[in-house]
Structure 1
Amino acid sequence: MSIQKQVMDKMKEAMKSKDTVALTALRALKSAFMLAKTEAGASEDLTADQELKIIQKQVKQRKDSAQVFIEQGRQDLADPELAEATVLEQFLPEPLSEKEIEDVVVAVINQVGAAGMKDMGKVMGMVSKQLAGQADGKTISTIVKAKLA
């Protein structure tokens, strides 16, 4: 079952249970899928990779917004953002631990033969592709920098 179909099913459940937080998050996700489909040069259907990237982007937006609200002392605005992020995260694969990410980074560094920070772009590209949906870019970047430094 495609992620878009799962989102539609969850939307129906949210409507029936009157879960406004979940409904808001799922509607925003559905909208993001529709926008991606209608972009110039886009194909009729989204690939699973594209769907995961859209979901990751939506989750990241909510977490970033919540962080800004918390920094400004507005916990009342941060809580709904975090709740929506939690709703959207159910469509992402299980995140990897830092140790598992580190293992992949080390393997890619050895495979590419990366010698220093000048090779960070190559390593980041390959690791990000391998761990799509399982790790965020910030965590990957931190680990790659530590290993290449």
Structure 2
Amino acid sequence: MLAKDEPRKAALRMLTAAIKNADIEAGSELTEGDLLVVVQRQVKQRRESIEEFRKGGRDDLAEREEAELEAFAGYLPKEADRGEISEAAHLTIKETGASGPRDIGKVMPLLIKQFQGRADGRVISEIVRELLG
């Protein structure tokens, strides 16, 4: 890698360390799904850090986290857009017979499973709440 790619190199080293730690914790070789979970966890941590750094006025640290997030993004499947999630939520609500906010528990597990690795649970939850609320 070129010297100007130092932030990316550092991010990939962190990702490699996180994968090794997960491998040690699991006690066996990680599956592709396990690796995806590790990358998603790292992405989620970066997004939360960016949000907190922005709130704290630390744009320099937020930019560093954004560079790391960008490096990780290439290792994730294409993210589902809100329209696709909304369409699937409509179908799932119809299939389960969900009719109000108390039925969120029927719908969410099915959608989370369907969009595993392709959508953030918060986005799915937000869409389901809009539709059932």
In the superposition, the TM-score normalised over structure 2's length comes to 0.91
CA contact (8 A) 1:52 1:132 kept: no
Measure how far apart 1:59 and its partner are. 0.7
CA distance in 1, matches of 2:27, 2:111: 26
Matched position secondary structure for 2:79: coil
Change (3 A) 1:43 1:110: farther
Q: Specify every segment of 5 or more residues in structure 2 that has no aligned partner in the other structure, as ranges.
A: none
Report the counterpart of residue 19 of structure 2 in structure 1.
Answer: 33
Report the counterpart of residue 17 of structure 1 in structure 2.
Answer: 2
CA contact (8 A) 1:21 1:83 kept: yes
What CA RMSD, in Å, does the superposition of the two structures yield over aligned residues? 1.4
Report the counterpart of residue 72 of structure 2 in structure 1.
Answer: 88
Matched position secondary structure for 2:118: coil
CA distance in 2, matches of 1:35, 1:122: 34
Measure how far apart 1:115 and its partner are. 2.2
Query: 1:92-114 CA deviation, whole Å, 9 max, x = no partner?
Result: 11111111110111111122222
- In the alignment, structure 1 residue 145 sits paired with structure 2 residue 129: yes
CA contact (8 A) 1:49 1:132 kept: no
Query: Which residue of 28, 49, 60 maps to 2:33?
Result: 49
Query: 1:38-91 CA deviation, whole Å, 9 max, x = no partner?
Result: 22xx35222222221211110111111111111111111110001100110111
Aligned length: 132
Measure how far apart 1:121 and its partner are. 2.2
Q: Matches of residues 114-129 of structure 1 in structure 2 within 5 Å? A: 114-129=98-113
CA distance in 2, matches of 1:114, 1:38: 41
Query: 1:108-135 CA deviation, whole Å, 9 max, x = no partner?
Result: 1122222222221231111111111111
Query: Which residue of 60, 68, 82 maps to 1:98?
Result: 82
Measure how far apart 1:137 and its partner are. 1.2
Change (3 A) 1:48 1:119: farther
Report the counterpart of residue 3 of structure 1 in structure 2.
Answer: none
- In the alignment, structure 1 residue 109 sits paired with structure 2 residue 93: yes
> Is 135-144 or 20-29 further displaced after alignment?
20-29
In the superposition, the TM-score normalised over structure 1's length comes to 0.82
